[in-house]
Structure 1
Amino acid sequence: MKNNIVESILRLLKSEFVKFAFVGGISAVIEFSLLILFVEKLSIDYLIGNVVAFALTNIVTYILSKRYVFNAASSVNKAQEAGLFFLCLLGGLLVNQIVLWAFVEFTSLDYRIAKVIAIAITVIWNFFTRKHLVFRNRAVATQQSAATDYSEDTL
C-alpha cells in the first residue's frame, strides 16, 4: 500500500501538467516582474508593457516547455513547431490582454491583481494548445520519420 502511494506521488510529480505548472510558475514570476518594471519604473502603459513582458517571458517558456515539460528535445519539423507555438502564443496573448483590459477597465481592479487573474486563465489556454497542437505525438512522429529514413535507405 505504501509503495502504491509513493509510486502515485512520483507519477503525479512527473506528469506533464505538474511540470507545466512549475515552468508556468517561473514564467509567471518573470512576466509579472517585467510588467511591474515596465509600468512603474519605465512609465509604459500597462497594456503595452504586458505585451512586451508576455513576449519576452515566452521565449524562456518555450525552451523550458520543449526540453522539460513535453520532452520534445528534437522536433521532426522545427519550422512547423515554431509556427504552431507562435500561433498558440498569439492566442494566449489575446486571452491575456482581453482579461487584463476587461478587469482593469470594467471593474477598476488594480492592473497587478488583474494580471494575476489573466495569467491564471492564460495558463489553461497555454497548456492545452501546447500539449495538443505544438508538442503532440513526438514519439509517433519520430517513429514515422525513422521508418521513412529506413525505407528510403533500403530502396
Structure 2
Amino acid sequence: MLKLLNSINSKYIELLKYLGIYDLINLLYGKYGQVIKFIIAGGTGAVIELGLFILFTGLLSIHYLLSNLIAISIAILVNYIISQKWVFESGRHSKEVELVVFIMLSVVIILLNQLLMWSFVDGLGFNEKISKVSSIALVAIINFFAKKFLVFKK
C-alpha cells in the first residue's frame, strides 16, 4: 500500500510540475503541508467515490442512494488508510479507539452525505452527478476538521 501511495504522490508531483505550480505548492507546503496532503488524499478519495458512483448509477443502473452508500463507504476506507499512513499522525487514541472514533465519524459523514444527496436530487431536482460532486465538496470540509480534532493526533 505504501508503494501505491508513493506512486500516487510522484504522479501528483509530476502533474504539478507540468502545470507550473509545483514551486508555489512546495513553498506553501511548509506552512500548510497537512492541509495540502489532506486535499490530495481527499481528491483521491473523491475521484474513487465519484467514479464508483457513476459506475453504479450509470452502467449498473443501481438507485442513486444505494450507489452513493456503496461508493462513499469504499472511499472512506481508502481515505482512512491514506490519512492514517500519510496525512495525520496517530496517537491521540489507541489504535482500537482511533478506529471506533473513525467509524462513528464515518457513519455521521455517510448519513450527512445521504441527506445531502436526497435533498439535492429529490428535494431540489438537481442532476445526480452534480449533486454527488456538491455533496463531496460540502462533506470534505467537515471531514477534515473532524479527523484532525477527533480522530488523529495532528
The answer to whether TM tops 0.5 is yes
Instruction: Name the counterpart of 1:110.
Output: 127
The aligned amino acid for 1:9 is L
Aligned equivalents of 1:57, 1:8: Cα separation in 2: 29
Indicate how the Cα distance of structure 1 residues 10 and 53 shifts in structure 2: closer, same or farther if over 3 A, else same: closer
Q: CA deviation at 1:106?
A: 1.7
Which one has the largest radius of gyration? 1
Instruction: Name the counterpart of 2:21.
Output: none
Q: 1:17-75: CA deviations, max 9, x gaps? A: 21111100011000000001111111110000100001111111001001111033x77
Aligned equivalents of 2:26, 2:140: Cα separation in 1: 27
Contact 1:85–1:134 at 8 Å: present in 2 too?
A: yes
Contact 2:89–2:153 at 8 Å: present in 1 too?
A: no
Whether 1:19 aligns to 2:37 is yes
Extract structure 1 runs of 4+ deviating beyond 3 A. Answer: 5-8
The aligned amino acid for 2:69 is V
Aligned residue for 1:116, secondary structure, equals helix
Contact 2:92–2:151 at 8 Å: present in 1 too?
A: no
Aligned equivalents of 2:32, 2:43: Cα separation in 1: 15
Alignment of structure 1 residues 93-108 onto 2, 5 Å: 93-108=110-125
Q: CA deviation at 1:89?
A: 0.4
The aligned amino acid for 2:134 is I
Aligned equivalents of 1:6, 1:93: Cα separation in 2: 31
Aligned residue for 1:44, secondary structure, equals coil
Q: 2:97 aligns with which of 75, 80, 83?
A: 80
Query: What root-mean-square deviation, in Å, do the aligned CA atoms of Structure 1 and Structure 2 show?
Result: 2.0
Instruction: Name the counterpart of 2:56.
Output: 38
Counting matched residue pairs gives 131
Aligned equivalents of 2:31, 2:47: Cα separation in 1: 23
Q: 2:84 aligns with which of 59, 63, 66?
A: 66
Aligned equivalents of 1:63, 1:6: Cα separation in 2: 24
Q: CA deviation at 1:94?
A: 1.1
Aligned residue for 2:89, secondary structure, equals coil
Name the TM-score, length of structure 1 as normaliser. Answer: 0.78
5+ residue gaps, structure 1, are 138-155
Q: CA deviation at 1:10?
A: 3.4
Aligned equivalents of 2:31, 2:125: Cα separation in 1: 39
Indicate how the Cα distance of structure 1 residues 78 and 47 shifts in structure 2: closer, same or farther if over 3 A, else same: same
5+ residue gaps, structure 2, are 1-23
